[in-house]
Amino acid sequence: MVDTKLLQGILMDVEPLRFKPMTLESNLLNHKQFSKAHLLWLLLYHVQDPMNFGAIIRSAYFFGVDRILVTNKSCPLSPVVSKSSAGAMEMLSIHSISDVISLLKVAADKGWDILGTVSPNKFEHFSVISASDHKVIRPTMLIVGNEGHGLTKEVCSCCTKLLTINPKRSLSPGFDSLNVSVATGILLNTLYNNKI
């Protein structure tokens, strides 16, 4: 036992958690359990802030996300991530993926909905719909992007739909989005409520 408020009186010697590598060769997308209609995977595309990462993991656990995938430029698992996840980091399957584009193409070919998320009016050459208008009818992969840059056009072009959260007022220039962890919580709640 330790006598500090920060550690809440408990000290443990544990191994660090690491991402489980996921490759297309691992055949995870072919497994029969992944054909159920309401399967939901969350892909974090270059999310770098550990507090955001932990908060997203916490929301993902709360809303029943089946698997979290992260890109190689995302924040690593760490004590800060674990603390901000309120322990949910230890309860979810979190995988790293190196070839995002190939994964998205394979998943789309297998009938998954690949849902990219963007700020309102961010992409003029892509069709963007309100998240509240999307109905979940098949396995779904939700992709949230980097805090400063969002998703690349290459990733967006692999998506079956692009979703946005519409603001409830006219926004000032330069203020066009929510914090990624807040947006992810809203999106997961919306998808959960829109299951058919």
pLDDT at position 21 is 65
Residues 77-82: contacts with CB within 8 Å, 24+ apart? 77/16, 77/17, 77/18, 77/19, 78/50, 80/50, 80/51, 80/54, 81/50, 81/53, 81/54, 81/57, 82/17, 82/54
Domain range summary for the chain, segments of one domain joined by +: 38-167+177-193
pLDDT at position 177 is 81
Identify which of 168, 181, 178 has the alpha carbon closest to the alpha carbon of residue 81.
Answer: 181
DSSP tag of 30? G
pLDDT at position 131 is 95
pLDDT at position 188 is 98
Please answer whether residues 161 and 123 qualify as being in contact, where contact means their C-beta atoms are separated by less than 8 angstroms. no
List of the chain residues with pLDDT < 70:
1-19, 21, 23-37, 121-124
pLDDT at position 187 is 97
The yes/no answer on whether domain 38-167+177-193 falls in CATH 3.40.640.10 is no
pLDDT at position 156 is 95
**For 90, how many CA atoms within 13 A lie in the half-sphere containing its CB?**
10
Record the tokens describing residue 135, joined without a space.
């109905």
